[in-house]
Amino acid sequence: MSNVNEISKRRTFAIISHPDAGKTTLTEKLLLFGGAIHVAGAVKSNKIKKTATSDWMEIEKQRGISVATSVMGFNYGDYKINILDTPGHQDFAEDTYRTLTAVDSVIIVVDVAKGVESQTRKLMEVCRMRNTPVIIFVNKLDREGRDPFDILDELENELKISVRPLSWPINIGAKFKGVYNIYEHSLNLFQPDKQHVTDRVEIADINDPTIDDAVGEADAAQLRNDIELIDGVYPDFEVEDYLEGQVAPVFFGSALNTFGVKELLDCFVRIAPSPRPVEAEERKVEPVEEKFSGFVFKIHANMDPTHRSCIAFVKVCSGVFRRNEVYKHVRSGKTYRFSAPTAFMAQKKEIIDEVYPGDIVGLPDNGIFKIGDTITEGEDLHFKGLPSFSPEMFKYIENTDPMKTKQLNKGIEQLMDEGVAQLFVNQFNNRKIIGTVGQLQFEVIQYRLLHEYGAQCRWEPIHLYKACWIESEDTEVLEAFKKRKHQFMAVDREGRDVFLADSGYVLQMAQQDFPKIKFHFTSEF
């Protein structure tokens, strides 16, 4: 078990937020502390702003950037940190959900003026499903915003998790003077500066008169009141509660001004979990096991249209992944040897010989992999992934070039393997329906089919409310339902029955009329 050391120093996490809360800025500042980059502004945001939705080329360009910043590994003190980037645009939410299967913890960024926003709420639901430990960073304290106590209440109510502030701001906006670090009993005085770390004042405790000298008597008195209130209201912080996903420690700061970021990082490396055991259908897999195992959580297409190769991102769950070793691709039962696996260090990719649990390895993929695939040294393991969610937008896909039917079908299959969207075949008319979580995916699919597969398609509207997977122990009832709804029945790629409800009312009535049928809104049940 020689890799115990390597495992215990790894911290693999994702930063999630609603667009514009400051995820990119915070990521960049963390990389600055890790010495992975040297000037602010080096990390390009991979977010696709709302205005860009109609500009596909812009999205393409940004996706190109995001390959390089998909995983950012760097060393910080004794720790090896891996930040897994997640797309900001909500149309790519499924990508984000899947990335969350590969992290051991999460940092949530919230804008102090806006509080908890829709996307944060959804992402937190996924964290809750997986009991992922969460730290919250309340950002933009240099701007006018909401009362910090109100923000804490909102975090608890909206994210449905207990919170425990570990730092506390002294005023906000124009009067912002700094934060008191409850975790370390120190005071950080605010000086707006985009490049450097700000002054830290060591103090004995909250009653230390140094605080009065630093921020003035009135603000010092207010701070003492606030801290007394916090200590009275919130139980002491227990790392165990955080690790179990029960309590989220909260930090305040300003990512743009590199303020409060180092405190966050220092606490993070100390309390955040090293790689955790991963559940497979067969058994629980411990990172310290001798034999290698890992799973594919993301597939990224090559930006060069003449090269249809992709990169499969594999999270190493146990053992050590070694270059040129023979591994089993469990789904196909075939074995493969990978001669050019890549590691992700900050913004570069490099060939690597050994990869440890917690790290991500990039494998060149010529259509071998599908999201969720497992690779092992031989054991048949199937890691439990995150289910696909019931899509919310649907279109019939039609071939517009009959000479290219084969290419079109191959393209559709591979894009579905990558997890771009979901394919259903309507049993009534045998037409293919693509279901997505956002409008952008239809553009992505059409563009990529043309540029990577030479196939042309057109979309035809179909009015549907939701697709849900159905099952029942009573086969007669199931058959009766399928007969009654035959126009609205489809199968997914695994051949499972899917009911295409065209309105919320129809779905509700179906659930009422057929109580013996289970309607599932995620693909794993």
Q: Output 190 or 338, the one with its CB closest to ligand G4P.
A: 190
Q: Considering beta carbons, is residue 40 or 506 the nearer one to ligand G4P?
A: 40
Cβ of residue 15: shortest distance to ligand G4P, in angstroms? Answer: 8
Helix (H) or strand (E) holding 25, with range, is helix 23-33
- HSE-CB at 98 with a 13 A cutoff on CA atoms is 27
Q: Show the CA angle centred on residue 243, arms to residues 47 and 170, nearest 5°.
A: 65
- Which residue in 155, 204, 150, 154 sits closest to 180, CA to CA? 204
Give the nearest distance from C-beta 19 to ligand G4P in angstroms. Answer: 4
Instruction: Write down the residue that tokens 């693909």 correspond to.
Output: 523
Q: Is 22 or 435 the residue whose CB approaches ligand G4P more closely?
A: 22
Q: What is the DSSP letter of 175?
A: G
- Output 140 or 432, the one with its CB closest to ligand G4P: 140
Q: What minimum distance in Å lies between the beta carbon of 259 and ligand G4P? A: 7
Pick 44 or 482: Cβ nearer ligand G4P: 44
Q: Any idea what the Cα angle at residue 145 is, between residues 218 and 242, rounded to 5°?
A: 90
- Shortest separation between residue 411's beta carbon and ligand G4P, angstroms: 31
**Shortest separation between residue 85's beta carbon and ligand G4P, angstroms:** 10
Output 40 or 507, the one with its CB closest to ligand G4P: 40
Indicate the residue among 32 and 408 with the shorter CB distance to ligand G4P. Answer: 32
Cα distance between residue 63 and residue 67, in whole Å: 7
Alpha-carbon gap, residue 452 to 439, rounded angstroms = 20
CA 440 to each of CA 299, 340, 347, 420, 421: distance values in angstroms, whole numbers, following the listed order: 18, 32, 26, 10, 11
Instruction: Find the shortest distance in angstroms from Cβ 25 to ligand G4P.
Output: 3
For the CA atoms of 497, 503, 506, 512, the dihedral, rounded to the nearest 10 degrees, stands at 80
Minimal CA–CA distance to 173: which of 156, 160, 192, 186?
Answer: 192
Q: How many helices (H) and strands (E) does the chain have?
A: 14, 31
Taking the least distance from each CB to ligand G4P, the nearer of 257 and 422 is 257
User: Toward ligand G4P, which CB reaches closer, 19 or 277?
Assistant: 19
- N-terminal to C-terminal alpha carbon distance within the chain: 36
CB of 27 to ligand G4P, least distance (A): 8
**Quick one: which of 48, 14, 454, 29 has its CA closest to 256?**
29
Q: How far is the CB of 221 from ligand G4P (least distance, A)?
A: 26
Smallest separation, CB 279 to ligand G4P (Å): 31
Residues that bind ligand G4P (CB under 6 A): 17, 19-25, 45, 47, 88, 139-140, 142-143, 254-257
- What are residue 348's DSSP bridge partners? 345
Smallest gap from residue 143 Cβ to ligand G4P (A): 5
Tokens of 498: 């899917």
Least distance CB 504 / ligand G4P (angstroms): 32
Rounded Cα gap, residues 235 and 166, in angstroms: 12
Minimum Å distance from CB 24 to ligand G4P? Answer: 3
CA quadruple 479, 484, 487, 493: dihedral, nearest 10: -20
Nearer to ligand G4P, 47 or 432 (CB): 47
DSSP three-state, residue 64:
helix
Q: In terms of CB distance, is 181 or 254 closer to ligand G4P?
A: 254
Closest among 355, 493, 521, 468 to 418, alpha carbons compared: 493
Tell me whether residue 120 is exposed, middle or buried, using C-beta atoms within 10 angstroms of its C-beta: 0 to 12, 13 to 18, 19 or more.
Answer: buried
Burial degree of 158 (CB within 10 A; 0-12, 13-18, 19+): middle
Q: Which is nearer to ligand G4P, 130 or 143 (CB)?
A: 143
- Answer yes or no: are the C-beta atoms of 413 and 421 closer than 8 Å: no
CB of 117 vs ligand G4P, minimal distance in Å? 10
d(CA 7, CA 4): 5
Q: Nearer to ligand G4P by C-beta: 254 or 436?
A: 254
